[in-house]
Amino acid sequence: MRLEGKIAVITGGASGIGEAAVRLFVQNGAMVIIADVQDVVGAQVAASLTPNATFIHCDVSKEPDVSSMVDYTMEKYGRLDIMFSNAGVLGKLFTSLMDMTLENLDRVLAVNVHGSYLCTKHAARVMIPNRHGCILYTASLSTVIAMPRGLSYTASKHATVGIMKSAAAALAPYGIRANCVSPTGLPTPLVVGALGLEIPGFDKKAAEDMYEAAFEFKGVKFEPEDVAKAALFLCSEDARYISGHNLVIDGAFSASKEFSTANFNFQHLAPQKNVDMTGSTVKGE
């Protein structure tokens, strides 16, 4: 019961890493507000954990939604101990930097960066008076090894780490901690859905096979629950003096690899485009 009596908000809590964190936090004694745009799925998760979880619709790119989410938490419980800013989008992962549009970049930044900032801002306004709290963000392995494609996603997650570090420094005098978890790829609904739009026939099994082939840490199947356990640690009193840290969860991948699409073999699923340094488009990779 490492979070017994704690009040937590988890954005993007309806599925994937967020859902795993919701369930683990509740198992460890927390009361959890599930914030997501997936109303049906989010309500189902909350119903399965009643009365320890409640669902609220929240688009983290919209400040009124985030403000209302925090206000709802304060009205219901009187305080906020943990803000887990987990909601995010991937954008177009196969788009080269020469083909990236501002529309795509703005959409990813709106959710991943603006959302991180808004969760920080509104969590801080209610945590500062209590001089206590923990803010956690889901970043990405791409904050350590840049992705050659998916510029918008990589940039957004670097910005998330920047927000975390600034928040950690600014909020330390109030006893409020801020950290990131940065997992490597997982076959979550977000990943399967995003890649399924770009690769015909791509499904969860294809994602599992792709990641299994890419990563060399064997004997353990990487699951959303592994990220949730890291989040649990960072939000618990066991990590009471850890702040400003980006915890990479990648089975040593970043210790010895470059983040190359050679590690993620999509060629058997669909032909890809690549852009060389001169900007000309060439087939294959």
- Whole-number pLDDT of residue 279: 36
In angstroms, the CA 232 to CA 22 distance is 10
Q: Catalogue the E-assigned strands of the chain.
A: 7-11, 31-36, 53-57, 82-85, 133-138, 176-183, 245-249, 273-275, 281-283
Report the catalytic residues.
140, 153, 157
For the stretch 120-141, pLDDT in tens is: 999 999 999 999 999 999 999 9
Which among 3, 95, 9, 124 has a CA at the least distance from the CA of 60?
9
Using CA of residue 56, residue 60, residue 61, residue 62, what is the dihedral sign? Answer: positive
Alpha helix (H) ranges present in 28-101?
A: 39-48, 63-77
Percentage of residues in the chain having pLDDT higher than 90: 66
Tell me the whole-structure pTM to 2 decimals. 0.86
For the stretch 227-238, pLDDT in tens is: 999 999 999 999
Which among 165, 157, 185 has a CA at the least distance from the CA of 257?
185
For the stretch 58-101, pLDDT in tens is: 999 999 999 999 999 999 999 999 999 999 998 877 777 888 88
What's the chain's length in residues? 285
**Picking from 111-115, 168-172, 193-197, 204-208, which range would have the lowest pLDDT averaged per residue?**
193-197
Residue 278's pLDDT band (cuts 50, 70, 90): very low
How far is CA 120 from each of CA 9, 44, 58, 163, rounded to the nearest angstrom? 12, 27, 15, 8
- Whole-number pLDDT of residue 272: 46
Average per-residue pLDDT for the chain: 87
Does residue 51 have a cis bond before it (omega within 30 degrees)?
yes
In angstroms, the CA 12 to CA 36 distance is 5
For the stretch 17-42, pLDDT in tens is: 999 999 999 999 999 999 999 999 99
Please tell me the number of Cα atoms within 13 Å of 167 on its side-chain side: 33
Residue 263's pLDDT band (cuts 50, 70, 90): low
- Whole-number pLDDT of residue 194: 66
Residues 13 and 36 sit within 8 Å (Cβ to Cβ)? yes
List domains and CATH numbers for the chain: 7-283 (3.40.50.720)
Residue 146's pLDDT band (cuts 50, 70, 90): confident
